[in-house]
Structure 1
Amino acid sequence: MWGNRFVGEEVLAFSAEKLFSIVLDVERYPEFLPWCKDVRVLSRGDSSLVAEVVASFLSLRGEYTSHVSFCPPRDNQPGWVKVRSTDGVFRLLQSEWRFLPMGSEKTLVKFCIKFSFRQKILQITFDVAADVAKHRIMRAFRARAYELFGNKDLGR
């Protein structure tokens, strides 16, 4: 079976609440995720949201619906964001962010994503650049944190 799975973790010098807010602010993804071209939130509740996403990678473009559930970090307790999609360009997309506070301004961020495309040509095209792409996800969110909350130069 073909597909991809990426796992990463990093300690960042920001509160879990601040980092959680970046991941949950899906409408802003096109501002800092290079492959994310458009996001439209269809519904939003206290612990979930549904969004349509338009993504472009190399010369390929596709759409999918993200079903997002979340629990914000509170009182030095971890928070999480989980995403699932089974439509559009993806046969399966699952991702999870975990935010583990390590004090007031330090957080261990864990990220895991697994996905497979419906069309084999998309999978083959992505596989060519997979090593670069997997590092760009965490790097993009780290850079966004420094842009919003700290020294930009440190986020690169």
Structure 2
Amino acid sequence: MPSLSKQISIPYAPEQIFDLVSDVARYPEFIKWIRDMKVSGLREEQGIRYFRGEASVGFKGFSERFSTDVAADPEKHTIDVSLVRGPFRRLKNRWALGKASDGTTLVDFFIDYEFRNPVLSLLARANTDLAVSKIMTAFRQEADRRYG
């Protein structure tokens, strides 16, 4: 049952990082294992944007599709992701963005997941930290490209 929390600092405003993280339709542009992303059901309630993301991912001969529900709160600078369907038994993800005194953004990333397939679960358990580090690097590089 892998879960991981990671904190990093990115030298851009929280609003910019929120826009980057909540723009899931563009993930295939900078996260190499996301082959396709479709966004549907966009609606807003009390300032929070809700939508569904359906991703096609693949790496090293492995290919899967999964769907998540996303709640993006621009006032609190949080993005919450929960599983709808896919190869996971469980998936919860949260991005919480805060402004540091030097104007940078403190990114608090949390993920808790479990694959249905025991072999994938074993592989994921051994590689969770590496995968999250690669995700953080991809977002940092995309922030540099967009805002640097």
* TM-score, normalised via structure 2 length: 0.89
1:55 aligns with 2:57: yes
Indicate the residue corresponding to 1:101 in structure 2: 99
Counting only pairs closer than 5 Å after superposition, residues 76-91 of structure 1 correspond to structure 2 as 78-91=76-89
Equivalent residue for 1:153? Answer: none
- Give 1 or 2: higher strand fraction: 2
Distance 1:21 1:127 in 2: 30
TM-score by length of 1: 0.84
> Which shows bigger deviation, 129-138 or 83-92?
129-138
Q: Which digits, 9 at most, give the CA deviation of each residue in 1:40-81, with x for residues without a partner?
A: 0121112211111111132211111110012114xxxx4100
Among 12, 28, 42, the residue aligned to 2:10: 12
Map of 1:1-156 to 2, 5 A cutoff?
3-46=1-44, 47-73=49-75, 78-102=76-100, 105-150=103-148
Distance, in Å, in 2 between the alignment partners of 1:133 and 1:58 is 14
99-108 or 61-70, which deviates more: 99-108
* Whole-angstrom CA distance in 1 between matches of 2:67 and 2:129: 25
Identity %: 28
The runs of at least 4 consecutive aligned structure 1 residues that moved more than 2 Å come to 102-105, 124-132
Q: Say if 2:69 and 2:84, in contact at 8 Å, map to a contact too.
A: no
Give the secondary-structure state (helix, strand or coil) at the position aligned to 1:45: strand
